[in-house]
Structures are given as structure tokens and as C-alpha cells.
Amino acid sequence: MSDASVRRMSDASIRGMSDAASPHRLPDPVMILGLPVHPLTLVQAVAHLRAATGRAPVTVVSLNGALLMRALRDPPVREAVAGAGLVIPDGIGVLLAARILGAPVQNRLAGVDLAEALCAAAAGVGGTVFLLGAAPGVAEAAGARLQERFPGLVVAGTAHGFFTPEEEPALLERIRGAAPEIVLVALGAPRQELWLHTHRNRLGAAVLMGVGGTLDVLAGRARRAPRWVQTAGLEWLYRAVRQPWRWSVIKTIPPLFLIALRERLRPRRPSRSAPGTAPPQEK
Ligand code: UDP
């Protein structure tokens, strides 16, 4: 998403659409292999999150194929994803699995786009954000850049993502003390999802989102794929070529399609509840 389009969305249009998108009641998620996915547009997702009050924080998970596979075999990760308030389909792997299963998830919503749009919308009302994660200096640089792009946004605090378990209580206290509305957490998946699931009620924020490499992108330390590559569904390939260590994660994804295919071909017994019955989610 270009700066211009995010800025356009940050003013009257996004506030107007907040009402039009009736954000207060999230439609039931689509279930993919037992995990919830909310196929919202960017505007609907922002509207939903802007309506979060903070009494019960909304945790946002950006689900890609690798995280989905991890959740299928790792119960704590599965619990963190299934327990999130909003799970966006951030990855072509999720869309392909949905297609195999005949589940209605047509469009990708990239976490980096949602994080930017959320900051843009918050800026319009002097909203506050805390940026946690990435290498030392990156969150500060991302915060400065966000404030330049979205005047009005208050960066309530930043911290790098290489803290020790001993440092964690003070970090939690610092975030809570900064009283941000939004906390963006870039610790890599699935660590950030597990961390947010564990600490979601200690942070005092309305919206908590795991954002992976987003702070590096916002800080200008990493580049996103060109628009046409994103549109072609090949952003994963672009990242893998630039960061070859990602192949070890990407090679976990093909079995996902076999699992989805097996699930699709499995005979259904009408009396049994569907395998993807919605789990309890944050309210
Ligand atoms: N990171 C961190 N602490 C850690 C491990 C990773 O802050 O202990 C950061 C890392 O510097 C990077 C982000 O987490 O900024 C993960 O980015 P990546 O692109 O790997 O995440 P993905 O989008 O693939 O989940």
C-alpha cells in the first residue's frame, strides 16, 4: 500500500467507513483445518479494531502457511491462533488451503498493510502505539518514520525484541505504563503469537498485533516486494530469494496442501460436528 493510499484512508474515508463496515460485530470466522480466519477487507479490519475499547484486548494474528502448519502440530501455537480476536489471511498458502477446502477466503490481507492502516487511522484521533521488537534501533526508526508519515500518531514507546526472561517483567511494566492503544509486536512467528497470548491481559492496550518483519520494513531496513509481485501472490518467493534462510520455513508448507486435500476428500458424517467448529475466541 502506498503512503498516499494509507493517508487517504486515514482521514474522513476511514472514519466514515468505520460506520459503514459495522465493525462492532465480527462475522463468524471461516474455519480452515480447525483454525479461524476472518476474511475481512482492510477497511473492515481497521474499522473493527478502531472500535476495540481495551476492556478486552483484541489480539490480531497474521496467519500464513508456515504459521498454519506450525499451529497444526504445536498445541500452544494452535491455542494462541485459535484464541485471537482477529485472524487475517496473510499468505498465499492460507488462500490455497482455503481454495482446496472450498472455504470462502478469497483475498489476502497483509499484516504490514493492516499495521500501517491501523497507525494511519489512529493518527487521525491522536492515537497511541507502542512498538516492540526487531533489532536495537529498529523500533525507534520505525516509530519516527510512522510519525513523519502520519502526523498526529503518538509513539508511546519502543523496545527492541532481544530481551531476556529477566528483563521481561520490567518491559511489561513499561508497556503498561505507556498506556498505548495499540501494541505492535515483532518477535517473529510463532514467538510473537505465543508472547501476546500469554501477556495479552497485562499490557493494558486495546489492540495487540504480531507483525513479524513489519518494523524492519517501516524503518526502511527491509523492502517489500514490488506491488506486482505481491499481486501475483509471490511475495513469499521475493522474501525467500532475499533471505535464503526462509527456505527452511517455506519447505514446511507443501504438506499443508496435502493435509487440506485429505480433509477435503474425507467422507463427512452429517451427525458429527464439523471438524472446523469455531473455538472460543476473545470477546
Ligand atoms: N526478532 C526479535 N527477537 C527475536 C527474534 C526475532 O525481535 O528474538 C525480530 C527480528 O529482528 C525481525 C522480526 O522479529 O525484526 C521477525 O521478522 P521476520 O521477517 O522473520 O518475521 P516473519 O514476518 O517471517 O514472521
Reported as a single tens digit per residue, the pLDDT across 169-194 is 999 999 999 999 999 999 999 999 99
Residue of the nearest CA to atom 11 in ligand 1? 134
Amino acid at 114: L
Q: Is the CB of 215 under 6 A from ligand 1?
A: yes
Select from 158, 187, 249 the residue to mutate for testing ligand 1; criterion: most ligand atoms less than 8 Å from CB. Answer: 187
Q: Which residues pair with 4 in a beta bridge?
A: none
3-state secondary structure of 87: strand
User: Comparing C-alpha atoms, which of 198, 209, 210 is closest to residue 169?
Assistant: 198
Q: What is the pLDDT of residues 62-82, one digit of tens each?
A: 999 999 999 999 999 999 999
Q: Compute the distance between CA of residue 137 and CA of residue 34 in angstroms, rounded to an integer.
A: 39
Q: Are 30 and 98 in contact (CB under 8 A)?
A: yes
For the question of whether the overall pTM of this predicted structure is more than 0.75, the answer is yes
Q: Is the CB of 247 under 6 A from ligand 1?
A: no
Q: Are 88 and 211 in contact (CB under 8 A)?
A: no
For residue 6, report the distance from its CA to the centre of ligand 1, in Å.
24
What share of the chain in percent tops pLDDT 70?
Answer: 87
List Cβ neighbours of 89 (8 Å cut-off, separation of 6 or more).
37, 39, 63, 95, 98, 105, 107, 108, 109
Q: Can you give the pLDDT at residue 53?
A: 78
User: Comparing C-alpha atoms, which of 109, 99, 28 is closest to residue 62?
Assistant: 109
Q: Which residue has the higher pLDDT, 129 or 249?
A: 129
Q: Which residues pair with 62 in a beta bridge?
A: 88
62-66, 175-179, 266-270, 277-281, range with the lowest pLDDT = 277-281
Whether omega for the bond prior to residue 244 falls within 30 degrees of 0, making it cis, is no
Task: Tell me the average pLDDT of the chain.
Answer: 89
Q: How many CB atoms lie within 10 A of CB 23?
A: 20
pLDDT at 2 over 50: no
Q: Three cell numbers at 115?
A: 499495521
Q: Is the CB of 153 under 6 A from ligand 1?
A: no
Whether omega for the bond prior to residue 226 falls within 30 degrees of 0, making it cis, is no
Whether omega for the bond prior to residue 190 falls within 30 degrees of 0, making it cis, is yes
First to last CA, the chain: 30
